[in-house]
Amino acid sequence: MFLQHLLNGITIGGSYALIALGYTLVYGVLKLINFAHGEIYMIGAYLGFILVSLLPALPPFFQGHLLFFLLIVFLVAAGLCALYGFYLEKVCYRPLRQAPKLTPLISALGASIFFQNFVMLTMGAKDRIFPQTVGMTTYTVAGVTGTPLQLAIILSSVFLMALLWWFINRTRLGVAIKATSTDPLMASLLGINVDTVISVTFMAGSFLAACAGVMIGLYYGTINFTLGYLGGIKAFTAAVLGGIGNVPGAMVGGFLLGIIEALGAGYFSAEYKDVYAFFILIAVLVLRPAGLLGKGVHERA
């Protein structure tokens, strides 16, 4: 049973980690918690749903090459969500760069309410059911039951994290992000366009969140417009758990949170499943605000 819970936990944990990366990246460059990030994830899930629903209308080529089709779904949904991230920053955060700390937070809450209600009005308040695309055959290896989808989700989240690592450490833009999060003023003096870097950071975070959204949609099969709230909070917990602003931390925190939740739901009580995340969040913030991988907090502002 333990291994079974572990597998389920890792599957969910991968998506938490992908969303958590968005929080951590933005926190790194702006020292700001992007409270509307959860909604981007929800919108990603809905875009995935809309695109997957198009499948029957597409030429038979796509029905024959499902994997290729899903790849396109991921790319389009994530690309559009990157634009959402771009606009979110541009409209809700950029004008408030110099404002008191409370102001961007409230405008982020406003943006989340807007996005939630926009999706509710256009897509309906009821649960939407993902069309069955990938076969639900299950395989049992050493007492652990899994689907190919689970494996694909775990592999693609690992792949996306590797991609992000490559982007941050091996490209000019990525290094500019690193420089900006270390010292924005110095970075701007060295000729880095900080505004561009911030936009790119939001876009990268939203890209990953959208991938997580499509994955969760495929995995659970149903999505709802309130998805972003709980998902956002849990991913934020994951980011804090690993040490906010710390990229490997967000990955570790995401997987860890997924595993803790799956084990907690399996061994203790499934009703309180959502409480675990909040308790972990409060405990980490109070006891070790720098998180597991954080290097001590300079300024807990």
Where does this chain bind other proteins (CB under 8 A)? 32-33, 46-47, 50-51, 80, 83-84, 86-87, 90-92, 95-96, 99-107, 109-119, 121-123, 229, 233, 236, 240, 271-272, 274-275, 278-279, 281-282, 285-286, 289, 300-301
Tell me how far, at minimum, the Cβ of 138 lies from other proteins, in Å: 31
Q: Cβ of residue 229: shortest distance to other proteins, in angstroms?
A: 7
Q: How far is the CB of 165 from other proteins (least distance, A)?
A: 26
Please tell me the chain's helix, strand, coil percentages from 3-state DSSP, rounded to the nearest 5. Answer: 75, 5, 20
Q: How far is the CB of 108 from other proteins (least distance, A)?
A: 8
What is the C-alpha separation between 272 and 268, in angstroms, rounded? Answer: 9
Least CB distance to other proteins at residue 145 (A): 28
Q: Which is nearer to other proteins, 12 or 111 (CB)?
A: 111
Q: Which is nearer to other proteins, 150 or 246 (CB)?
A: 246
2 vs 272 by CB, closer to other proteins: 272
Choice between 145 and 193, CB closer to other proteins = 193
Shortest distance, position 147 Cβ to other proteins, whole Å:
28
Q: Which is nearer to other proteins, 50 or 152 (CB)?
A: 50
Nearer to other proteins, 112 or 157 (CB): 112
